[in-house]
Amino acid sequence: MAVVQSVVVIVLVGASLILSAWWLTPARARLWVLDHLVRADATRGPLVRLRRTLLARAQVGCHACSANPSANARGSIEKGGALHR
């Protein structure tokens, strides 16, 4: 029984480490990894969905910099002002 418990703990800790490393890795590096794991002609599957989601999040940004074409500084100031009232 102790062996099964040790194996379960090792698997859970290993999965936690991998997931933490994945989320702490910059988006560019995560996309590079997914590009190498997914075939170019693949259109379905969990890795393809993960890649699409990551690309969509990377393209949206936080709307805080002028490099983002959809950034609207005036709108963000108005929103912040509305929150303080």
Q: Which of 60, 42, 61 is CA-nearest to residue 51? A: 42
pLDDT of residue 10: 97
Q: Which of 1-5, 26-30, 54-58, 59-63 has the highest mean pLDDT?
A: 1-5
More confident call, 81 vs 74? 74
In three-state form (DSSP H/G/I as H, E/B as E, the rest C), the secondary structure along the chain is CHHHHHHHHHHHHHHHHHHHHHHHCCHHHHHHHHHHHCCCCCCCCHHHHHHHHHHHHHHHCCCCCCCCCCCCHHHHHHHHHHHHC
pLDDT at residue 61 above 50?
Answer: yes
The pair of structure tokens assigned to 77 is 């100031």
More confident call, 46 vs 39? 46
The domain locations on the chain are: 2-84
pLDDT of residue 81: 44
Model pTM above 0.85: no
